[in-house]
């Protein structure tokens, strides 16, 4: 889906299809705000959305977290063995820890699975990497954020993401 598709829906929901009340900049920013909120709620609810993975090379025991990192899911060593998430500054072999903006491990490379923020939408032509079924929820959440109804936007995101997370659990 493109940002333009979502922006049109938002304008439809807020009654501004003639573009007299809101600038494109305001609508585009509401899309980015909605994506961030939905990523945070996805992480909180353990949804299948906004999951990412990255191979991280550890140098001198630590490395920077990937751009857009939000919350860890799991980590694996170079041979695919799952690493134990520990809460220490100097993890041993078979362990990793996330502190501040860095990942520490006794391993040389770590495949990090994590929840992450999506890339920012920079123009109406930008592609939004979500299933088509999330077009309406994204536009609805963005519309609520435009109206400064943050609690309602969170509830709306939870409803759609929570319902998706629940369906995924039943399938598995």
- Over the stretch 96-155, which tens digit does the pLDDT of each residue have? 999 989 999 999 999 999 999 999 999 999 999 999 999 999 999 999 999 999 999 999
pLDDT digits (tens, 9 = 90+) for 21-37: 999 999 999 999 999 99
What is the pLDDT at residue 172?
43
Specify the residue for token string 């799952």.
82
pTM beyond 0.85: the answer is: yes
Summarised one tens digit per residue, pLDDT across range 156-171 is 999 998 755 444 444 4
- The domain limits of the chain are 3-48+120-171, 51-116
3-class secondary structure per residue, 7-58: HHHHHHHHCCCCCCCCCHHHHHHHHHHHHHHHHHHHHHHCCCCCEEEEEEEC
Tell whether the model's pLDDT for residue 51 goes beyond 60: yes
Alpha carbon distance 56, 152 (integer Å): 37
Which candidate, 137, 119, 139, places its Cα nearest to that of 129? 119
pLDDT at 90: 87
pLDDT, average across residues 54-68: 94
Write down the pLDDT at residue 163: 57
Looking at residue 88, what is its pLDDT? 84
3-state SS class at 137: helix
Q: Is the pLDDT of residue 43 over 90?
A: yes
């Amino acid at each position: 889906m493109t940002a333009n598709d979502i922006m049109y829906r938002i304008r439809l929901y807020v009654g501004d299809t003639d573009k007299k009340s809101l600038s494109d900049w305001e609508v585009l920013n509401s899309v980015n705000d909605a994506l961030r909120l939905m990523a945070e709620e996805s992480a909180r609810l353990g949804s299948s959305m906004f999951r990412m993975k990255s191979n991280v090379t550890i140098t001198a025991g630590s490395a920077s977290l990937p751009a857009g990192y939000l919350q860890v899911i799991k980590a694996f060593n170079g041979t695919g063995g799952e690493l134990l998430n520990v809460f220490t500054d100097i993890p041993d072999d078979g362990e990793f820890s996330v502190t501040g903006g860095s990942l520490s491990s006794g391993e040389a490379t770590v495949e990090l699975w994590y929840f992450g923020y999506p890339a920012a939408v920079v123009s109406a032509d930008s592609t939004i990497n979500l299933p088509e079924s999330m077009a309406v929820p994204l536009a609805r959440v963005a519309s609520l954020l435009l109206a400064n109804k943050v609690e309602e936007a969170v509830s709306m995101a939870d409803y759609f993401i929570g319902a998706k997370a629940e369906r995924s659990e039943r399938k598995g």
